[in-house]
Copies of this chain bind each other. A is one copy, B any other.
């Protein structure tokens, strides 16, 4: 038996689930897990199905499904459930998110392939190499920024990258790369958005005397810190915590949210619907 995961998204209308089910029936498939949601505002239909079938040929399976659903003109993705999403990680100097991704990857908790790690600094080279992952040093200056982003876009194409993960990458991406890789770049913001946008959120949080600090993962769009939110988490803090304590506690929240987000992406549980996301967790 082969197991597949199907993601399907299109304008909502009657008969989509029947059409998908008809396609799966033609494959004599058994549905293991299925979730569906129709966004009431944008009337976007989102479906995730995990199913088993004797058909080993993924193209034949996709053709069988498409025979029924193509009239809905959907965005359709099909994969073997044990195939891995391909990821490119961008990092700067702070390594806590990278290390957490690498650890979960190394023990088999994150079903992804990390094609390469790109950084504008050399600091994380050893971490990459310890996991036998290619490390590419692409320094950024105002003059080289465009070239560097162009190189990233080429790497995405070359390695068939599904997702670019910004693991505390301290450069603001241009509108150009955000649009070219729309829906493929995810970021961890070290704040509970929409509070404390911008720089030094832990200093802001300390000054404001908040009792919880948080982190937010989101898709990257040209509007800085305004991309669709994927996940958030918080940690309770108190008056005795210094800014350094908040930074330290924040690191753990950031890595937890980002690793969980990459896990959701790895299992095709995330749909992008306008400015919001649909998550079948």
Q: Residues of A at under 8 Å CB distance from B?
A: 12-18, 21-22, 24-25, 28-40, 96, 99, 103, 107, 109, 130, 192-196, 207-212, 214, 228-234, 238-240, 242, 248, 251-252, 256, 273, 275-279, 281
Contacts and interface: CB of A to CB of B under 8 A. Distances in A.
Contact of A35 (B36, B96, B109, B278): B36
Contact of A277 (B15, B195, B209): B209
A214 B194 CA distance: 12
Contacts of A15: 25
A239 B24 contact: no
- Copy number in the complex reads 4
A18 B22 CA distance: 6
A36 B38 contact: no
Contacts of A212: 192, 214, 232-234
Contact of A36 (B34, B207, B211): B34
A232 B214 CA distance: 12
Between A229, A240, A252, the greatest number of chain B beta carbons within 10 A of the residue's beta carbon is seen for A240
Contacts of A35: 34-36
Nearest to A17: B21
